[in-house]
């Protein structure tokens, strides 16, 4: 049997985080600890309000998952499919936390980093983009200057001031840009913005239209000068086939898909449909960011900066050097706690 402990964690943001859907200064996540034979595996849930999740629902879900796991007399060593077998519907972030905690436990039992158990080359790490949230031009300029050590910036768009944001970025930086519209445009707006963005050194655009507008996305992609990536339109591997031809790539987030196992299926499915893969995140501590980073040598683009947007990250794990992700060498996730969580 495994024993469960979970703790609320409030992550405070360095700057107010503004998206097309609203603003926030803190995020309420959940730390999960699974203990077995004297070893403790760590996981993190970052519940997504857009999908009806919160810290309390994630806590209830992980409690039920552990109960189901123990009732089935499951062996923690059989972690590959364990999380999805006990998953609670509608709570993928809790499933992701359970999944990464079991994988952390397995690595610690064997004394090996997770990337070694997965057969992943930790030297083939990608650069990660750094996110610039929507704001007034003066604040955007300050944020860009703070992010000068990153090779690529990701700029949030989806408001009436979109072009002013990009112009503010370009006034102080020639770094390559990626844009995330967070479903904020109409088909007509998207067509106009994409042509303009192509002249601004933008590499790709995420989710220009609302998630359900797949046929409109096909129209947009047919005329787009830039690659278009699905974010809100994709959650799990079974979503991908219908997106082929509407998007050039997908953005995988552990908190949406339910963990590393499903993320690996998504990578394989996207490749089978000739699509590129980005690995993204929510606002998360270094615990969940590091779990995702173990997959990053398998993908094309990384956007794993959620921990860098906070001021009270209680963990240390994957780091960024010269803009590139670097994995820790410790067993399991390789994450260490450096302070207590806020309860």
User: What domains sit in the chain, N to C, each tagged with a CATH number?
Assistant: 3-111 (3.30.390.10), 118-337 (3.20.20.120)
pTM: 0.95
Closest listed residue to residue 316, CA positions, set 298, 339, 299: 339
Q: Measured in Å, how far apart are the chain's first and last C-alpha atoms?
A: 27
pLDDT at 46 exceeding the cut of 50: yes
Give the Cα separation of 189 and 109 in Å (integer).
53
Residue 32 β-bridge partners: 6, 43
Q: What would you measure as the largest C-alpha separation in the chain, in angstroms? A: 60
Q: How confident is the model at residue 6 (pLDDT cuts 50, 70, 90)?
A: very high
Contacts of 148 (CB under 8 A, 6+ apart): 173
Give every strand in the sheet of 39-45, ordered side by side: 3-19, 22-36, 39-45
Cα distance between residue 186 and residue 190, in whole Å: 6
CA distances from 266 to 88, 134, 299 (A): 20, 29, 11
Mean pLDDT of the chain: 95
Confidence bin at 20 (pLDDT 50/70/90): low
| pLDDT band with cut points at 50, 70 and 90 for residue 23 | confident
- The pair phi, psi for residue 151, each rounded to 5°, is -75, -30
Predicted pLDDT at 21? 59
326 or 341, greater pLDDT: 326
Q: Is 153 helix (H, G, I), strand (E, B) or coil?
A: strand
DSSP assignment letter at 113? B
35 Cβ neighbours under 8 A, 6+ residues apart: 2, 3, 4, 5, 41
Strands (E), 87-165: 129-132, 152-156
**Residue 305: predicted pLDDT:** 95
Cα-based distances in Å from 341 to 10, 11, 142, 286, 308: 7, 9, 29, 12, 17
């Amino acid at each position: 049997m495994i024993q469960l402990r979970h703790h609320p964690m409030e992550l405070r943001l360095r700057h107010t985080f503004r998206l097309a859907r609203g603003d926030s200064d803190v995020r309420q996540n959940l730390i999960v600890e699974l203990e077995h034979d004297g070893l403790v595996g760590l996981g993190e849930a970052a519940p997504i309000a857009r999908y009806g999740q919160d810290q309390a629902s994630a806590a209830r879900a992980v409690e039920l998952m552990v109960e189901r796991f123990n009732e089935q007399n499951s062996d923690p060593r059989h972690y590959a499919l364990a999380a999805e077998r006990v998953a609670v519907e509608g709570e993928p972030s809790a499933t992701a936390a359970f999944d990464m905690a079991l994988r952390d436990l397995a690595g610690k039992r064997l004394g090996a980093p997770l990337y070694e158990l997965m057969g992943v080359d930790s030297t083939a790490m990608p650069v990660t983009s750094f996110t610039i949230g929507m704001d007034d031009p003066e604040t955007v300029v300050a944020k860009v200057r703070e992010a000068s050590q990153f090779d690529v910036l990701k700029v949030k768009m989806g408001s009436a001031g979109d072009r002013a944001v990009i112009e503010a970025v370009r006034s102080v930086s020639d770094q390559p840009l990626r844009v995330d519209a967070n479903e904020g445009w109409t088909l007509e707006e998207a067509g106009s913005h994409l042509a303009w963005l192509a002249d601004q050194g933008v590499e790709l655009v995420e989710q220009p239209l609302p998630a359900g507008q797949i046929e409109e996305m096909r129209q947009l992609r047919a005329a787009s000068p830039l690659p278009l990536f699905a974010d809100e339109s994709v959650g799990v591997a079974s979503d991908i086939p219908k997106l082929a031809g509407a998007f050039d790539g997908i953005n995988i987030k552990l908190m949406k898909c339910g963990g590393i196992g499903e993320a690996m299926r998504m990578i394989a499915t996207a490749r089978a449909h000739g699509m590129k893969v980005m690995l993204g995140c929510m606002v998360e501590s270094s615990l969940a960011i590091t779990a995702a980073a173990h997959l990053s040598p398998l993908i094309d683009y990384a956007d794993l900066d959620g921990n860098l947007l906070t001021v009270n990250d209680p963990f240390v794990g994957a780091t960024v050097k010269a803009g590139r992700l670097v994995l820790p060498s410790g067993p399991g996730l390789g994450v260490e706690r450096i302070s207590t969580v806020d309860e």
